[in-house]
Structures are given as C-alpha cells and as structure tokens.
Structure 1
C-alpha cells in the first residue's frame, strides 16, 4: 500500500491544488497557459495550468452535449466551452490560447474531428488529442496496472506496462446507467436521480441498489484485462466519486482497486498536463 500511496501523492496534491483554484484562481503572470478540455457526458471541465504545469484556474458545468462518448450537440458544446473559456480568461486577466482534449479510447475514427472542432470553435488552438485513460495517467503516473475511467456514458480502460499503454478499450456503461437505475428504483425523474446520486450522504444506501450495474462495469473490466497480467486497478472519472464503488469492483475482479480522493478531476488535469504550445 505504501507504493500505491507514493504513486498517488503527486495526483492527490495536484487535485487538491486544482480544487482550491476553482474557487480562488491564481492570477499571476505566466509566459504561457495550458488548458485541458474534458468533454464529459455529465460535465464539461476546463483545467488551466501555468508555464510550470501548476493549477491556476478551473471551471466546470453540467452539460448534455455528449452521449456515450460522442458529441451529440455540437453547437451547444462549443457554446459551453467558449463561455467557460471566457469566464476563466476574465478571472486570470489573460487570453487562453492553447488547449488539449481527450475522448474515450476506440472513438478516434468516429469522433476525433468533432472534439477537435469543438475546441477550436471555442477559440482555442488545439495542441494534443489523446484517449482519456492515457491522459489520466499523466496525473496518476502509474507504471503498471489498469486505469479505468468511468465517466457519464462509458467505461474506458487503459492497460499499462512499464509506463507504456499497451491496450485500450471503451464500452458504453457509466454514470448515466447508474442514474437510470436510481430513477427506476425510487420513481424519480432522471435529473432528480442524478442529483440524488451526487449527494455523498446517499451513497451507502445506493450501493445495494447500484450493485448490478457496478457488477456490469466490473465484468467489462475483467473481460478486457483477462489476457494481461494486471496487478491493480486505478479508478478515475466522476462516477467513481460513489463511495464504496472501489470495494465492490475489487471484490468482483479479485484485484486491488484504488481511487484518488476526487477522481472527477484526474482526467481533465491529465489532459492539461499533455498540453503544449505546439499546435496540431
């Protein structure tokens, strides 16, 4: 566990610093700013780092512009990213030029162009486009294991060996499916179920209700890692904020399963860490 804790130390500090600058941005002079744009099924997150790749600002907003990892509301996505960009530029008193973005693994041929055009349409110069679990590892710094990014619509998996990604996959099961199960069990609207899910006080009560869909996620993970020697699973993505999800996944997969304190911000920060000033 000590090795895992030391591996997480950088990530935990990075997320902690980012959470602080969301409410109180650091408006100092930096030669360049690097932005990570995470177009999620439930939230769009922008993470801004300075020239030394330290968090200086961040913003996020609930959005319905992506479904199962694919952009379904192109105009809406551009509008939200542009508004978040302008909000952060005002707080930092500077122009944000460079951005990186990511998308679920396996969707590059289908949606890479749309993601790129959304970021460019919002006024950024895009410098990097990569898959979400690989981006997350820039923050996690895992050498060996499986990074599992459970987002709103999909579960993405990246298997690493000696720090290199050797396999990626993505399947459509995520937080949206959790909310649908809650809506059915509690006779709530989808939006009310989603809000109920986000309250940590409800998590213990919800775990038994969500067990079938968590087991489905676990079976997806087990299927994709079955041909590889994986010794640990590392969870990221907003859906992993559900308290206790790591314990159920560990039980189902038979593997040690870890997650940072706030897994929602790991991927956007990893995306920002992959941003440069060299335009694609």
Structure 2
C-alpha cells in the first residue's frame, strides 16, 4: 500500500464525516448500513447504491465489554434509535445491514451481535471480523490491520490481498482509561472523557506509553514469521495522538494511521453489506 491509498481511505472518512452532519439522499432509495458495536462507541455508517457515504450517526455507550454484548436490550435500543434518526433524515426505511465481531469471538458471542442488528429492525446480510472489515476501506495487499478498540486489539494479517491470520487480544482502550484513572485519581467515567479529549493527548501520551508499548509487543508477537510491509491502525483507541509513533518505534514496522481511525471499520462493514439476506 502506498500513501496515495491512505489518501483514498482518508477521503472516504472525510466524506463520511461530512454526511454525518449533512446526509446525502440516494436517487434510487437503496441504502446499505454498517453497524459497528464498539466497546466505547456504536457507529452506523450508511452507503448509497454506489457504495458512497450517504449518512451516519454514532453514540458513546457501554453496552459492549471486551467485544461481547453485555447489555443486550440497551444495545438494541441504541441501534434502533440511531436507525430511526437516520431514517428520518433520509426519509426512507433502512432495510439492509452488515455487522462485525472481534476476531475469534464468533462462537463465544453466540450470535448476540447478529441478534442486536435483527432486533433493531434490520435484515442482516453479512457478519465479518472487524480488522477484515477495516481492510475493505484500507485495501492493503501485504501488512497488518490493527483494530485497537475499547476492550480488545484485533490484528488481521494480510498477504497478497488475502487475510492470512486473524487474532484478538484483550488489551485496548479500557486499559488506557484505567491507567488514566489511576494516574489522575479520577473515576473511570471521568478518565474516559478526559482520554477522549484531544486537548489532553499530548500530556496523556507519556502516562499511557507503557500500555501502548504493551499493545506494540502484542503486535510484534502476533505478526512474527510474517512479512509485514506496514501496520495500519484503526479503532477508537487509535485516535490517541502520537500512538502510531510509539508503536512504530517499538515494533520497528512502518505504522500508518488514517485521519479518523474510529470510522474506518464501520465504513468497511457498510461496504460489505448487500441486499442478500443471510
């Protein structure tokens, strides 16, 4: 992958950020939705019939823990509300949705994420793992997509455009929040809000460096034995300013980060949505 491809990814993210503010109606009324049930944030990304961003909405929530749905009713409720909000803006019903799960949680999850999407009133057309979904946007040929979420870090190793290995480790944004809470002697909720505010990132990066280095060590272990041209960071936790520098220094692998890493996976999920019901 070259930096021009990163430009294509950044362009798509920028277009998506624009339609969150001002949705674009499709002339045909056909829409494909990606539902990203994150540990810290739930995102709905809507594409038109040409798979161009049409609308989007997101909400911070704690209905998922370490990739598992812990508040089933709450999750359905939020997805329903976001769906209704987007339907009102687009003046149509959103029928089709795809979803994603952290790598390796398919059996453990027991279809909870599928059931949340169905429970919110969508027809489910696809379920894939999160880093693989992100690569629908990144389009890397040889490298590793590192999806640093709230509860877990998912790594998808891509060789010649095909996924060669997918792994998940239970280290993510939650650990950064816990360290922030401890360092500043504040509650978990306060620490989460403090960490989310970009104004605090320069000061926080020093405090959080050991946890980021732990994530880098996980990446090194999991990518060992593979030829990795680059690491591509996505997920809400990757929004931490400077995280890519620490990971690159520790792994010795060139590390790239899109403009807004939080939206890459939901856009990839939406790109994987069709009108063929599972």
TM-score bracket for the superposition, by shorter chain length: over 0.9
Counterparts of 1:15 and 1:118 in 2: how far apart (Å)? 25
- For the Cα contact (< 8 Å) 2:29–2:92, is it kept in 1? no
Offset of 1:231 from its aligned partner?
A: 2.1
TM-score w.r.t. length of structure 2: 0.98
Report the secondary structure of 1:235's partner residue.
strand
1:4-47 residue CA offsets vs partner (Å, 9 max, x unmatched): 21121221111000000111111243341000000000000000
Return the alpha-carbon distance in structure 1 between the equivalents of residues 159 and 4 of structure 2. 18
- Contact kept in structure 1, 2:118 and 2:124, CA below 8 Å: yes
* Aligned with residue 200 of structure 1, among 192, 198, 201: 198
Q: How far did residue 198 of structure 1 move? A: 1.2
Residue 211 of structure 2 is aligned with which of 213, 219, 236? 213
User: Residue 86 of structure 2 aligns with which residue?
Assistant: 88
Task: Name the CA distance, whole Å, in 2 between partners of 1:193 and 1:240.
Answer: 17
Unaligned runs of 5+ in 2: none
Q: Is 1:274 matched with 2:272?
A: yes
Hey, what's the Cα distance between the residues in 1 that align with 2:26 and 2:189?
A: 39
CA distance, structure 2, for counterparts of residue 76 and residue 68 of structure 1: 16
Matched, 1:150 2:145: no
1:167-217 C-alpha deviation (Å, 9 max, x unpaired): 000011111111110000001111111111111111111111001110110
Matched residue SS, 1:57: strand
Alignment check: 8 A CA contact 2:66 2:152 kept: yes
Equivalent residue number for residue 113 of structure 1: 111
1: CA distance, partners of 2:89 / 2:230: 40
1:54 maps to 52
Give the superposed CA RMSD: 0.9
Distance 1:119 1:154 in 2: 21
Which residue is 1:104 aligned to? 102
Q: Residue 228 of structure 1: CA displacement?
A: 1.1
Residues 112 and 13 of structure 1: CA distance in aligned 2, closer, same or farther (over 3 Å): farther
1:28 and 1:221 map into 2 onto residues whose CA distance is 40
Secondary structure at the residue paired with 1:278? coil
Q: Indicate conservation of the 8 Å contact 1:103/1:112, yes or no.
A: no
Moved over 6 A (4+): none
Q: Which residue of 2 aligns with 1:125?
A: 123
Select between 212-221 and 34-43 the one with higher mean Cα deviation: 212-221
Equivalent position to 2:23, from 22, 25, 28: 25
Q: Partner residue of 1:265? A: 263
In structure 2, which of residues 156, 159, 164 is the aligned counterpart of residue 166 of structure 1? Answer: 164
* 1:89-111 residue CA offsets vs partner (Å, 9 max, x unmatched): 00000000000000100101111
